[in-house]
Amino acid sequence: MLKVQELKELIKALDQSNVNELKFEQDGTKLVLKKQAAPAPAVDKVIEGPRETVAVAAPVVQQEEKVTAESVITKAQEPTTNANVHTITSPMVGTFYSAPSPDSEPYVKQGARVTDESVVCIVEAMKLMNEIEAEVKGKIVEVLAENGELVEYGQPLFVVELV
């Protein structure tokens, strides 16, 4: 199974390349990453003349912000102003679980100490249970997601005070 850091590196490499789609398979786990295609220009006006109809495409004016894994993660970390604080974000869209099973204790609670390899939660995506690691040493200051809640890519899950 890919670690979160390896997944971030794959996303970054795809973003910086001319490749539009990346398929990766390792130990029975398959990953497909695709870049979004640019939207097609919209037909804005139809001008009718006496004998023919001419469709005129108005220029599509869009401000595009290039979204990368780093920009999403950086934006998710902006609310924290303390440099000694790290925000653990969701690496994927899925369902957040704070414990390995419904009758088990949560992996971590507010005030718990974590190491860089500590599992802090599970994000279920497409029936796969993905263990999310803290990736830093510190103390859980705040748990931002509720058990069973749907989480988005880059959504803050935990705030960790670095040690």
Judged on CB neighbours under 10 Å (0-12, 13-18, 19+), 22 is middle
Q: What is the pLDDT of residue 7?
A: 73
d(CA 40, CA 70): 27
pLDDT tens digit at each of 163 positions of the chain: 667 777 777 777 777 777 777 777 777 777 777 777 655 555 555 555 555 555 555 555 555 555 554 544 444 444 445 679 999 999 999 999 999 999 999 999 999 999 999 999 999 999 999 999 999 999 999 999 999 999 999 999 999 999 8
- Look up residue 54 and give its DSSP letter: E
pTM given for the model:
0.51
pLDDT in the model for residue 20: 77
- State both tokens at 98: 């704070």
Per-residue model confidence (pLDDT) at position 61: 53
The DSSP 8-state label assigned to residue 106 in this structure reads P
Residue ranges of domains in the chain, CATH in brackets:
81-162 (2.40.50.100)
C-alpha to C-alpha distance for 100 and 122, rounded to whole angstroms: 7
Tokens of 94: 């899925």
Q: How far apart are CA 113 and CA 163, in angstroms?
A: 9
